[in-house]
Structure formats: C-alpha cells, structure tokens
Amino acid sequence: MAAKPVLYYFDGRGKMESVRWLLAAAGVEFEEVFLETREQYEKLLQSGVLMFQQVPMVEIDGMKLVQTRAILNYIAGKYNLYGKDLKERALIDMYVGGTDDLMGFLLSFPFLSAEDKVKQCAFVVQKATSRYFPAYEKVLKDHGQDFLVGNRLSWADIHLLEAILMLEEKKSDALSGFPLLQAFKKRISSIPTIKKFLAPGSKRKPISDDKYVETVRRVLRMYYDVKPN
C-alpha cells in the first residue's frame, strides 16, 4: 500500500490550502506536519529537502516536492484532474492561472493592518466581480456544460470553488449577479469528496487568525506585513 502524502506547512491555509483541496477532491488521505517553531524550520533547511528554502513541501511517491504549482500539477495529473489531452490541459492551466491571480489578492490578507484589510477587501471584491467572475460565467454560458473543461471535474473547477468560497467569506453575496456560477458552486460542492472536505471535522483550514499569523512570523522571522512563500 502506497504511503500517504505528507504535507509540510503551517497549521493554516496559505499556499498549502489549494493542495489540501486537490487531494481531498481526489479522495486521497494525507498527513500533515505543522511548522510551529523556528527549530523545525531550520532542521528542514539543514536537511536540504527545501530546494529553494521555502515551504510548502509535499512528500509523495518517493519525492519531496516544493513550489506550489509543481505540487498541484503533479497531483492533478496523477489523479486524472488535468484533462484528457494537451488542449484541455492548456485550458485548465489558463483557468487556474486566472483563479490564482484572484486568490493572490487574498493570500496576504491575514498579514495586513485593519485599515489595509478594509481597502484590500473592497479591491478584491471589485476585481472578482468585474474581471474574474464574468469570465467564468461566460465560459459556462458558452459551452453549456456542468464543468469548466471537458464536461468532467478538473483542477480548474476545484480551484475556482475554493476561490469563490474564500471571497464569500469577505462578501457573502459576491455571486449575486452570476447565476451560472451560483449553480456551479452548488454542483461542485455536492460532489461527495468535496462535500466531505467542506464538512466540519475535515482537514480544511479555517480563516487564518492572529495565532496563525504570529506562528508564521515567528518561524520565518517575519516582522513586517508580507505573506509567507
């Protein structure tokens, strides 16, 4: 029996959360090692497993993978969430890239001052509702299918749902002008593996709090308003 993937990161969302989402959607159980002290992090650095001296890192299939996109690419390909051919893969990459742009605005949110959080929230909502959500609404309208690519579940669908739910935490009616995305959200959320991940008690992380921020800053010796790598 193959060993479970092991995820090395903080006990919070950050860049690892999309990895958790993808593994959970694929029905793959995984283990986690949470970085809580500077000593843990320095031990990883000294061991040489962090190629670019950064987390996330995932142990999977005998490899120690770093760089979030490389990790997600591998998981999507391994578990048939990356399209059936090169054209579908290109579309998935394009949609995931767009969603990444949107989610990037949210990653730094926990590390901002209260004043900057208000400004960032307004900025992200404006970008989502004027640029990103209209694009995905059009994709769904144009092909009339249940999923973004190939009429089957892919990484693109999972990533978009993650982003939608993150934005709804900031503005609950963010999808009010997008009926096809509302239906998409309901449909993807009902897939058994995803429904399980969204249920209480799963390994999905809550909104990052002050404890998470302090842990990240302490471990990485960050004393200014930036996000972790």
| Band (224; pLDDT cuts 50, 70, 90) | very low
- Residue 225 pLDDT exceeds 60: no
Among candidates 67, 81, 55, 54, which has minimal Cα distance to 159?
81
Q: Please report the pLDDT score of residue 223 as a whole number.
A: 56
105-125 pLDDT, tens per residue? 898 899 999 999 999 999 999
Topology given in CATH for the domain delimited by 6-79+199-220: Glutaredoxin (3.40.30)
2-41 pLDDT, tens per residue? 799 999 999 999 999 999 999 999 999 999 999 999 999 9
pTM, two decimal places: 0.94
SS3 per-residue string spanning the chain: CCCCCEEEECCCCHHHHHHHHHHHHCCCCCEEEECCCHHHHHHHHHHCCCCCCCCCEEEECCEEEECHHHHHHHHHHHCCCCCCCHHHHHHHHHHHHHHHHHHHHHHCHHHCCHHHHHHHHHHHHHHHHHHHHHHHHHHHHHHCCCCCCCCCCCHHHHHHHHHHHHHHHHCCCCCCCCHHHHHHHHHHHCCHHHHHHHCCCCCCCCCCCHHHHHHHHHHHCCCCCCCCC
* Segments of the chain assigned to CATH 1.20.1050.10: 86-190
* Segments of the chain assigned to CATH 3.40.30.10: 6-79+199-220
Q: Which CATH number does 86-190 carry?
A: 1.20.1050.10
| Band (1; pLDDT cuts 50, 70, 90) | low
**Percent share of the chain, pLDDT over 70:** 97
Q: Which amino acid is at 23?
A: L
Identify whether the C-beta of residue 16 lies closer than 8 Å to the C-beta of residue 9. Answer: yes
CA distance 60 to 146: 31
> What is the rounded average pLDDT of the residues 68-89?
97
164-187 pLDDT, tens per residue? 999 999 999 999 999 999 999 999
| Band (199; pLDDT cuts 50, 70, 90) | very high
**Percent share of the chain, pLDDT over 90:** 93
Q: What is the mean pLDDT of the chain?
A: 94
